[in-house]
Amino acid sequence: MRFTFATVQYESGDWDSAPLLAANVIDAVARYTSIDVAPSGAIVPLSSEALLRYPLTFLTGHLPVRFTAAEKVMLRRYCERGGLLFVDDHNHDVDGVFHKTCTEELTQTLSPLTKIANTHPLYRSFFTFRDGPPTTSHELNGWGDNLVHEHLMGIERNGRLAVIYSNKDYSSEWSFHPENKKFLSVDNTRFGVNLVVYALTR
Amino acid sequence: MLLALWRLRTPTVSPSPVVAVGVDGTLDTQLATLLRTPSDTIDVTLQSVPTARDRALLRTLRGSGHVLRLRADAPLVASAVSAEAEWRASGGTRVQLVGGHSLVATLSDGAGLLDSVRFDSAGVRRRTGPLEGALLLRGRTTRAAVAPLVAAAPVVARVFVTGAATWESRFLIAALEESGWPVDVAVSLSPTVTVTQGAVRAPSRARHAIAIVLPGASAAAIAALPSFVRRGGGVVIVGEAARSAGLGALRAGAPGTLLAGELGAEAGDKPRHGLDLVPVASLTAGSVALESRDGRVAVAARRIGAGRVVQVGYDNSWLWRMGGSDDAPMAHRRWWSALLSGLVPLSHPTTTVRMTPATDTLDAAPVAALARDIGLPDVRAASASVRGTSRSAALDLRWLMAIATLALVVSWTLRRWRGLA
């Protein structure tokens, strides 16, 4: 059964704010690894049993996040069983509406988020990122606070990361057509490969 | 003489002793006492199946010339049990039981009750934790006991997992580690990148007890498997890996066409119906089917040299763990752990047991050997199959003949003296 990149659809907010991200990550995985990856991604409702068929899922948005009761139940079950949810704040804010509400919902549903050390195996699961999570162009000169976020945040279950939370705005960084990678001196989607490989091997 | 002749024609009939085999399976009378009984016939009332020792005593009585009349007030059912330690992180025992159809019995050890069982014609298998002392099976009219086989030396039960990086490899490794199995891993991500855990890329009998081969396993790992299994290692071939060229001589059967699982069935009471299946289409000679689904062999096993190979047709058992019912993660762990436990080679078992199975759990009729080991005098036979010469009658005759001879000699001597006088 091949690996399928799945984007989570939730009731509140703009879950589909980064429609090109899936194709870019899929392209990177296919380009650098021999992982059998489905050529197109899937969209799966957070409240649906189908979520359990995708052990790695992606959630993003700009707007406030409020999980429904059904979404909370399914998210809890998903993480307990071994699923990994990668959340990225499309605003890359520290105290923006997505960040405030989403971290609150994750804390209430699962447990408080803690910093992921920059020496975590996630940063060397395929490519090596010696300084932790790669900085995005949107952090350096982007929209809001001009603040570089040093760490990703996470929630663990049974010794494994069940949630990876980012406010580095990879949703913007990876939202371009994969064909345009040839214009980049360094492929900035390589960290996406690390995320997928970490999910498949840990 | 007349007295001797009369004695020969009408031998003395002593009343038959009545002995009983009690609820604990033992005779209530000493063998020496029974052997001295003057009666030809011994009535034996069976309240339960005699123990192996007392069955031997009854055979001795029969062989000494006594007629045994066996009687039981209630139907008796024989039973037998075997127990073998198997590898699990917390310790474990694999138990096989055989008994009469519909027999209900309890299983206990020195620490107390373990389980209750109802037999059917196929026998019963159980997996328990480590046993405290002997394992005892008790039914209303039967009992059996055995001390489990244990290995003399600690067993190396490390598992080696190899294949491509997939959800199946990820969740299988997780299930094994959560069950306490030490696991080495060699999972390929690209032609030049392999993720290892344990710094090994091929299975070795010096380090591993079991090798699990997933689709995408490296040629080097596959090439090491034939000698690995011949030297006692266990090999598990999973799903599409059965099509690998290097596994043709090892697999339990040719893989068939992939069958899609029933959507949503993984959450039901038959979760493995929801998994994709590469059936074992035709079993190799000597292979046996361990599990079937809809008439197709899903899991099969065979012996090769000192080792064993199990071919698992399920291609994505991780769906069961993720999408199954509330106890699915535990059930998934237990299923894989039980499969592997049967493959761990126990070295040099030393404990003596009463019932010794000639075959192991992977054979087609594992309990047949136990059934053969149950030897019980036929309760319905009212007389012994062998009737020997009555020892007491022979003894009487010799004395009588001696007396008669003496009487003749005395009589002749007296006549001679009268004649001389």
B31 part of a folded domain: yes
Q: What does the pLDDT read at residue B226?
A: 95
B319 touches chain A (CB under 8 A): yes
Cα angle, residue B204 at apex, residues B185 and B164 outer, rounded to 5°: 30
Q: What dihedral do alpha carbons A89, A95, A96, A97 form, nearest 10°?
A: 100
CB contact under 8 A, A33 and B190: yes
Better-scored residue on pLDDT, A123 or B54: A123
Strand-pairing partners, residue B20, are B45
- Report B:209-238 residues touching A (Cβ under 8 A): 216
Q: Is the pLDDT of residue A183 over 80?
A: no
**Average model confidence (pLDDT) across chain B:** 78
| CA of residue B220 relative to chain centroid, distance | 38
Same domain, yes or no, for B266 and B178?
yes
Out of B100, B122, B151, pick the residue that ends a domain.
B151
The pLDDT score that the predictor gives to residue B357 is: 39
Using pLDDT thresholds of 50, 70 and 90, give the confidence band for residue B13.
Answer: low
Same domain, yes or no, for B250 and B327? yes
Q: Are residues B113 and B235 in the same domain?
A: no
Lowest mean pLDDT among A104-108, B4-8, B86-90, B231-235: B4-8
* Average pLDDT of span B86-112: 75
pLDDT at B24 over 80: no
Is residue A107 in a domain?
yes
Question: What are φ and ψ of residue B243, in 5° steps?
Answer: -85, -5
Q: Please give the pLDDT value at position A155.
A: 97
- Taking the Cβ of residue B320 and every Cβ of chain A, the question of whether any pair is shorter than 8 Å is answered with no
Highest mean pLDDT range out of B1-5, B63-67, B92-96, B325-329? Answer: B325-329
B141 and B166 both lie in a single domain: no
Looking at B91-95, B147-151, B202-206, which range is the least confident one? B147-151
B197 and B265 in a single domain? The answer is yes
Residue of B169, B170, B330 to mutate when probing chain A, most A C-beta within 10 A = B170
Q: Find the CATH number of the domain harbouring A58.
A: 3.40.50.12140
Question: Within a domain: residue A87?
Answer: yes
Partners of A52 on chain B (C-beta within 8 Å) are 322-323
User: What is the pLDDT, as a whole number, of residue A95?
Assistant: 73
Within 10 angstroms of residue B206's Cβ, the number of other Cβ atoms is: 7
B166, A199: Cβ pair inside 8 Å? no
Nearest-neighbour CA in chain B from A35: distance (Å): 6
Identity of the amino acid at B207: R
Per CB-CB distance under 8 Å, the chain A contacts of B276 are 1
The average pLDDT across B20-37 equals 71
Using the 3D structure, point to which of B130, B151, B172 is the last residue of a domain. Answer: B151
Q: How many CB pairs under 8 A join A and B?
A: 71
CB–CB of A149/A116 below 8 Å?
Answer: no
Render A96-109 in DSSP notation, one character per residue.
Answer: SHHHHHHHHHHHHH
* Together in a domain, B227 and B309: yes
Q: What is the mean pLDDT of residues B287-299?
A: 91
Q: How confident is the model at residue B417 (pLDDT cuts 50, 70, 90)?
A: confident
Higher pLDDT: B169 or B417? It is B169
> Are residues A89 and A102 in contact, defined by beta-carbon separation less than 8 angstroms?
yes
* pLDDT at position B140 over 80: no
Residue of B nearest to A35 (CA): B189
- Please say whether the beta carbons of B297 and B364 come within 8 A: no
Enumerate long-range contacts of B378-386, CB under 8 Å, 24 or more apart.
Answer: B378/B70, B379/B46, B379/B70, B379/B71, B379/B72, B379/B76, B381/B70, B382/B69, B382/B70, B382/B71, B383/B67, B383/B68, B383/B69, B384/B62, B384/B66, B384/B67, B384/B68, B385/B62, B386/B62, B386/B63
B162 Cβ under 8 Å from any chain A Cβ = no
pLDDT in tens, A43-78: 999 999 999 999 999 999 999 999 999 999 999 999
**Structural domain contains residue B36:** yes
Going by pLDDT thresholds of 50, 70 and 90, the confidence category of residue B412 is confident
How many domains does chain B fold into? 3
Asked whether residue B353 is assigned to any structural domain, the reply reads: no
Could you tell me where the DSSP H helices lie in B98-218? 167-178
Q: Please give the Cα distance from B312 to B274 (Å, whole number).
A: 15
What are the pLDDT digits (tens) for B338-366? 889 878 766 544 444 443 333 333 333 44
Domain membership of residue B252 (yes or no) is yes
The total number of structural domains that make up chain A: 1
> Nearest CA to CA, how far is A190 from chain B (Å)?
14
Question: What pLDDT was estimated at residue B264?
Answer: 87
- Are both B163 and B243 inside the same structural domain? yes
Give the lowest-confidence range in A93-97, B67-71, B119-123, B408-412: B119-123
Q: 């992977």: which residue's tokens?
A: B362
Query: Which tokens belong to B254?
Result: 């040719």
Name the band, by pLDDT with cuts 50, 70 and 90, for residue B5.
low
Q: What is the pLDDT of residue B378?
A: 42
pLDDT tens column, A123-182: 999 999 999 999 887 666 555 556 777 899 999 998 899 999 998 989 988 987 777 777
Compare B62 and B331 and report the one with higher pLDDT: B331
CATH number at residue B196: 3.40.50.880
Give pLDDT tens digits for A73-116.
Answer: 999 999 999 999 999 999 877 678 999 999 999 999 999 999 99
- Domain assignment present for residue A159? The answer is yes
3-state secondary structure of A136: coil
Read off the tokens for B82: 């075997």
Which residue range forms the structural domain that includes residue B391? 2-75+376-420
In a domain, A77, yes or no: yes
Q: What is the pLDDT averaged over residues B87-111?
A: 75
Tell me, what's the pLDDT at A173?
A: 87
- The answer to which of A9-13, A115-119, B72-76 has the lowest mean pLDDT is B72-76
Contact B165 A158 (CB under 8 A): no
Residue-number span of the structural domain to which A111 is assigned? 6-201
Per-residue CA distances from B264 to A56, A73, B152, B274, B311 (Å): 19, 19, 46, 6, 25
Do residues A13 and A68 touch, judged by C-beta distance below 8 A?
no
Burial class (CB in 10 A: 0-12, 13-18, 19+), A79: buried
Do B50 and B133 lie in one domain? The reply is: no
What average pLDDT does range B184-201 have in this prediction? 90
In this prediction, residue B390 carries a pLDDT of: 42
Under a CB-based contact definition with an 8 Å cutoff, are residues B255 and B261 in contact?
A: no
CB B242 within 8 A of CB B251: yes
* Max avg pLDDT among A26-40, B6-20, B358-372: A26-40
Residue B358 in any domain: the answer is no
Evaluate whether residue B197 is within a structural domain.
yes
Residues B172 and B305 in one domain: yes
Give the minimum alpha-carbon distance from B55 to chain A in angstroms, rounded to a whole number.
55
Rounded mean pLDDT of B89-112?
77
CATH number at residue B96: 2.60.40
In a domain, A1, yes or no: no
Which chain B residues are closer than 8 Å to A156 by Cβ? none
What is the band of B87 on the pLDDT scale with cuts at 50, 70, 90? Answer: low
At B372 the pLDDT is 54
A34 vs A32: CA distance, rounded Å: 7
Interface of A with B (CB under 8 A): 1, 3, 32-36, 49, 52-53, 55, 80-83, 125-126, 158, 160, 197, 199-202
| CB nearest B187 (choices: A1, A81, A201) | A201
Same domain, B187 and B293: yes
Instruction: Give the model's confidence band at B91: pLDDT under 50 very low, under 70 low, under 90 confident, else very high.
Output: low
Note the pLDDT of residue B354: 42
CA A28: distance to chain centroid? Answer: 15
Selecting from B167, B267, B319 the residue whose C-beta is nearest the C-beta of A200 gives B167
pLDDT at B153: 55
Do B71 and B84 fall within a single domain?
Answer: no
Helices (H), chain A: 21-32, 69-81, 97-109, 137-141, 170-173, 190-201
Same domain membership, residue B247 and residue B186: yes
- Considering CB atoms only, which of A34, A52, A160 is closest to B190? A34
| Yes or no, beta carbons of A158 and B178 under 8 Å apart | yes
Give a yes or no: residue B350 inside a domain: no
Identify which has the larger pLDDT, B133 or B225: B225
- A197 within some domain: yes
- Residue B80 pLDDT more than 70? yes
Element housing B404 (H / E): helix B391-420
Torsion of CA A169, A172, A174, A180, to 10 degrees: -150
